[in-house]
């Protein structure tokens, strides 16, 4: 099974924001990336379970468990000699999909501001202050089509804000199962690179970049585009407040496809199709039935409720405005097929109560059961029992461990991207 080893001879350093339980760190370490700063902090709660789990596994050196906005306030206030957040080769983070809109300040001379509490702007602040050569970020694929009233606006703001700092930005929506991993987890991965360090060159050609030459094209191979195909180009004009107001105004479909590259205020994008990888079915990651605790088996009298929740349904409902509408849900598999990759793990996967969204499988003996935390870890590519301990002598509950994995990423995808980034960084240094 997967293991974690701290790199002995690092090729570059990493700052990990919104670190969770360390998925980025595990995947990157395999290719010589050493994480020297990490931040994990949950607002509005005294308990800091994810941070505790992170420290149990990695130690406390370089780890921060306080509001990242305050951390960066101190860092930026300290100026160029700040040691609060060390300068690193790479900044990484999985951040929430929020409203990234920007408004002009009351005193326009003071510039533009994003909404307080939106975590994207903390990533932006760190990149602007420390100027890392590279950044690797992860988000839900909904980012490409938010908000509903201006499809793609939030992503456009993000691209423009990074581009205006002097970075090129690649993105790809990745279904992990299509690249040979055992979970159908769909996320958008974003790679930003300082154009002064990694110039695209005079021969830059968007189609070749998206399908062959880019970081994501080399890490996660795609099929060639049909001959004569041209990528869509999207020009972003105006400052961030103007993009907020005008981008795809009243648009119903996002112009951003599942892959693209942004440079010099132009986004080049096209639908990309992964190369074929052999499927890894759920059954290869399960604990033997004899080793499953009784608490994970579903009692016979509870199966009716599980089946009801998984079944298709249609019902008339009334909106708060008084209008009636029909609410419907499609049928979900009961039980989940173990000969296919697992569905996406959600934060509510834990606990014994019946659920539409939890996995339920049938064992060789014919009994039904839920997935164990160790199996959820395997489906995300974490070492066995990675989330078991919060600190020495304090075990995490099964519900908490499932929550960790619902928030985590597929480590193997980071592994592949991290290898290409490492190769490029070594090649860059060799030329100096």
For the stretch 295-312, pLDDT in tens is 999 999 999 999 999 999
d(C-alpha 216, C-alpha 229), whole Å = 20
- pLDDT, mean of residues 398-418: 98
User: Using 50, 70 and 90 to split pLDDT, how confident is the model at 367?
Assistant: very high
* Position 6 in a domain: no
The Cβ of residue 107 has, within 10 Å, a number of other Cβ atoms equal to 7
Domain that holds residue 423: 12-276+410-431
Quick one: 239 and 298 in the same domain? Answer: no
User: Quick one: 324 exposed, middle or buried, by C-beta within 10 A (0-12, 13-18, 19+)?
Assistant: exposed
* Position 392 in a domain: no
Q: Would you give the DSSP letter of residue 180?
A: T
Radius of gyration of the chain (CA): 23
Q: Tell me the average pLDDT of the chain.
A: 95
Quick one: 55 and 163 in the same domain? Answer: yes
Contact 175, 259 (CB under 8 A): no
The residue that leads in pLDDT, 171 or 326, is 171
Tokens of 412: 């193997």
Residue 105 has pLDDT above 70, yes or no: no
| Structural domain count, the chain | 2
* Position 390 in a domain: no
For the stretch 209-258, pLDDT in tens is 999 999 999 999 999 999 889 999 999 999 999 999 999 988 899 999 99
Quick one: 254 and 326 in the same domain? Answer: no
Quick one: 319 and 417 in the same domain? Answer: no
Quick one: 292 and 195 in the same domain? Answer: no
d(C-alpha 400, C-alpha 137), whole Å = 24
Catalytic residue at 53?
A: no
Taking alpha carbons only, the member of 106, 104, 96 closest to residue 138 is 96
For the stretch 134-146, pLDDT in tens is 999 999 999 999 9
**pTM (predicted TM-score):** 0.95
Taking 3-state DSSP, the helix, strand and coil percentages for the chain, each rounded to the nearest 5, stand at 35, 20, 45
Catalytic residue among 36, 84, 97, 399: 97
Quick one: 41 and 168 in the same domain? Answer: yes
User: Using 50, 70 and 90 to split pLDDT, how confident is the model at 316?
Assistant: confident
Q: Each residue of 1-11: b (16+ CB within 10 Å) or e?
A: ebebeebeebb
Residue 106 has pLDDT above 70, yes or no: no
User: Using 50, 70 and 90 to split pLDDT, how confident is the model at 109?
Assistant: very low
Quick one: 19 and 66 in the same domain? Answer: yes
Q: What is the strand order of the sheet 63-64 is part of?
A: 63-64, 33-39, 12-17, 90-94, 134-140, 186-194, 167-175, 259-263, 266-270, 232-235
Quick one: 167 and 261 in the same domain? Answer: yes
Q: What CATH number does residue 132 fall under?
A: 3.40.50.150
Quick one: 40 and 128 in the same domain? Answer: yes
* Position 24 in a domain: yes
Quick one: 164 and 63 in the same domain? Answer: yes
Cα 239 off chain centre by: 27
For the stretch 59-92, pLDDT in tens is 999 999 999 999 999 999 999 899 999 999 999 9
* Position 62 in a domain: yes
* Position 116 in a domain: yes
d(C-alpha 223, C-alpha 211), whole Å = 7
User: Using 50, 70 and 90 to split pLDDT, how confident is the model at 97?
Assistant: confident
* Position 282 in a domain: no
- H-type helices in 283-393, by residue range? 303-310, 373-380
Quick one: 248 and 352 in the same domain? Answer: no
Quick one: 115 and 228 in the same domain? Answer: yes
User: Using 50, 70 and 90 to split pLDDT, how confident is the model at 3?
Assistant: confident
* Position 163 in a domain: yes
């Amino acid at each position: 099974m997967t293991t974690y080893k701290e790199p002995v001879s690092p090729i570059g350093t990493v700052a990990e924001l919104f670190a969770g339980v360390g998925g980025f760190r595990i995947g990157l370490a395999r290719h010589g990336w050493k994480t020297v700063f990490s931040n994990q902090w949950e607002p509005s709660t005294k308990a800091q379970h994810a941070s505790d789990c992170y420290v149990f596994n990695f130690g406390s050196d370089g780890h921060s468990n306080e509001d990242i906005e305050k951390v960066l306030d101190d860092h930026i206030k300290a100026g160029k000699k700040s040691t609060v957040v060390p300068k690193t080769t790479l900044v990484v983070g999985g951040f929430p999909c929020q409203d990234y809109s920007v408004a002009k300040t009351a005193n326009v001379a003071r510039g533009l501001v994003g909404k307080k509490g939106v975590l994207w702007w903390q990533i932006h602040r760190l990149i602007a202050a420390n100027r890392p050569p590279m950044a690797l970020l992860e988000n839900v694929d909904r980012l490409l089509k938010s908000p509903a009233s201006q499809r793609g606006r939030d992503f456009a703001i993000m691209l423009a804000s990074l581009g205006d700092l002097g970075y090129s930005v690649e993105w790809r929506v990745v279904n992990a199962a299509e690249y040979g991993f055992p979970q159908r987890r769909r996320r958008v991965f974003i790679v930003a690179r300082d154009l002064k360090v990694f110039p695209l060159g005079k021969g830059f050609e968007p189609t070749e970049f998206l399908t062959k030459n880019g970081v994501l094209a080399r890490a996660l191979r795609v099929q060639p585009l049909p001959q004569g195909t041209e990528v869509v180009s999207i020009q972003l004009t105006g400052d961030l407040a103007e993009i907020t107001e005008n981008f795809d105004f009243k648009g119903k479909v996002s112009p951003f496809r599942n892959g693209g590259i942004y440079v010099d205020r132009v986004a080049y994008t096209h639908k990309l199709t992964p190369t074929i990888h052999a499927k890894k079915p759920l059954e290869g990651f399960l604990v033997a039935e004899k080793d499953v605790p009784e608490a994970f088996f579903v009692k016979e009298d509870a199966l009716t409720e599980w089946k009801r929740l998984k079944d298709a349904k249609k019902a008339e409902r009334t909106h708060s405005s008084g209008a009636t509408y029909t609410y419907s849900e499609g049928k979900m598999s009961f039980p989940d097929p173990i000969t296919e990759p697992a569905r996406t793990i959600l934060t509510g996967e834990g606990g014994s109560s019946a659920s539409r969204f939890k996995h339920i499988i049938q064992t060789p003996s014919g009994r039904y059961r839920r997935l164990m935390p160790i199996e959820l870890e395997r489906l995300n590519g974490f070492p066995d029992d990675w989330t078991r301990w919060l600190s020495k002598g304090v075990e995490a509950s099964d519900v908490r461990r499932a929550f960790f994995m619902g928030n985590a990423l597929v480590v193997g995808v980071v592994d592949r991207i991290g290898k290409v980034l490492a190769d490029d960084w070594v090649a860059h240094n060799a030329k100096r």
